[in-house]
Amino acid sequence: MNTDITGMVSDIQKFSLHDGPGIRTTIFLKGCPIKCEWCHNPESLSFDEEIAFAPNNCIGCKACFSACKTGALTFNFNKRTFDKSKCTTCGKCISICPGGAMYRIGKKMSALEVYEILAADLPYYKNSGGGVTISGGEPLAQADFSAAILFLAKEAGLGTAIETSLYQGYEKIQVLYPVTDLFYCDLKLIDNQAHKKYTGADNSLILENVKRLYGEGKKLVIHLPLVPGITDSKENICGIAEWIKQNIPGTQLELLNYNLLARAKWENLDMIYSPGDIKPSKEAEVKELAGLAEKAGVRTRYRMG
């Protein structure tokens, strides 16, 4: 295994309790082949480094505008504008910003560099039965890099998992076979036309990959993000539950309530958040949807935050 292989990382989150068993470190990779309108990690959509702006940290000094020599940042009629096509990600605006409002997203790292960060907390993982989870973005879009990180984790005796849309050729999934204990797979919309509309991708490849993983005896959990007005309909929940029952019986379904943090991330990247001002579902509503899936014969749990 080539542990010197490099990949693009957007964030490394320590002491995560929701991305697998025990205490874990979650590594978010940059780049995703599908574009869900509600994406909770829009900073991981692009495969390239980016510069973002956090308006709450801005003190209004305008130093970033004078530092930018490409014309990407301008200030006209009391309005800040950012032209990504002109940005070279040189970082001069970041260096001069006293409030930390300008920040970089994305760093090229080797698998060994990533492992050295998570290895600092080895006792916590081992005492809790935890380990490392690779998320994104899409881990399968950087399959060899993901595999190298998980190889090092398994060599250290840690549990390993990935969170994936499975929207890749199956040969990419097979690269992760030997080093992945658990696959968290997203099934967002069972209706293919709706899936194309809201994610830009056909869901037939995803469904086929899920069935094949199941057939190979791999441990998997189905994630269904509850986006109000898009994925949280009773028809969609029941449709996915029925598909699970018919095609991958015994597999657990986990409903993930909508998170308000997503919209702010889109705005920091000067991206339009299509779903608009939507709110998370109340627990009673989520519990009712989970009950529908349970009634269909699918083991179901839910997560509110």
- 117 and 101 both lie in a single domain: no
pTM of the model: 0.92
- Its domain, for residue 294, covers 6-47+108-303
**74 to 81, 213, 223: CA distances (angstroms):** 5, 49, 41
- 32 and 112 both lie in a single domain: yes
Q: How far apart (Å, rounded) are the C-alpha atoms in residues 16 and 238?
A: 30
Which pLDDT score, from 0 to 100, does residue 139 have? 97
- Report pLDDT digits (tens) over 107-153: 999 999 999 999 998 888 888 889 999 999 999 999 999 999 999 99
- 65 and 182 both lie in a single domain: no
- 188 and 157 both lie in a single domain: yes
- 100 and 215 both lie in a single domain: no
- Please say whether the beta carbons of 6 and 109 come within 8 A: yes
Which pLDDT score, from 0 to 100, does residue 258 have? 93
Q: How far apart (Å, rounded) are the C-alpha atoms in residues 75 and 53?
A: 14
Which regions in the chain score pLDDT beneath 50? none
Residue 265's CATH number: 3.20.20.70
Residue 1 lies in a domain: no
- 165 and 207 both lie in a single domain: yes
Final residue belonging to a domain, choices 105, 126, 147: 105
* CA dihedral of residues 237, 238, 240, 244 (deg, nearest 10): 130
Which pLDDT score, from 0 to 100, does residue 30 have? 97
Question: What backbone torsions phi and psi does residue 281 show, to the nearest 5 degrees?
Answer: -75, 155
- Please say whether the beta carbons of 177 and 135 come within 8 A: no
Structurally, the chain folds into a number of domains equal to: 2
Residue 289 lies in a domain: yes
Which pLDDT score, from 0 to 100, does residue 84 have? 83
Q: How far apart (Å, rounded) are the C-alpha atoms in residues 179 and 152?
A: 9
